Amino acid sequence: MRLLLVEDEKKIAAFARKGLVEAGFNVLVCHRGDDALQLATTERFDALVLDIMLPGRDGLSVLRQLREQRNNVPVILLTARGGLSERVEGLNLGADDYLTKPFSVEELIARLRAVWRRLTGEGLSLLQFEDLTLSVTTREVRRGSRKIELTAREFALLEFLMRSPGRVYTRTQLCEHVWDYHFDPGTNLVDVGIQRLRRKVDDGHAIPLVQTVRGVGYTLKAGA
Q: What is the pLDDT of residue 217?
A: 92
CA distance 133 to 143: 6
Q: How far is CA 214 from the centre of its chain?
A: 27
CA distance 186 to 47: 29
First to last CA, the chain: 29
> How do the domains of the chain map onto residue ranges?
2-120, 124-220
CA distance 197 to 182: 22
CA distance 75 to 223: 40
For every one of its 224 residues, what pLDDT tens digit does the chain have, with 9 covering 90 and above? 789 999 999 999 999 998 888 777 889 999 999 999 999 999 889 899 999 999 989 999 999 999 999 998 999 999 886 777 888 888 899 999 999 988 888 889 888 888 877 776 544 577 889 999 998 878 899 999 899 999 989 999 999 899 888 889 898 889 888 887 766 666 788 999 999 999 999 998 999 999 999 989 999 998 76
Q: Are 124 and 115 in contact (CB under 8 A)?
A: no
CATH code reported for the domain at 124-220: 1.10.10.10
Element (H, E) at 117: helix 105-120
Q: What is the pLDDT of residue 154?
A: 94
CATH topology of domain 2-120: Rossmann fold (3.40.50)
Name the β-bridge partners of 149. Answer: none
Enter the pTM of the model.
0.58
CA distance 29 to 7: 8
Q: Are 63 and 75 in contact (CB under 8 A)?
A: yes
CA distance 89 to 38: 22
Q: How far is CA 11 from the centre of its chain?
A: 21
Q: What is the pLDDT of residue 50?
A: 95
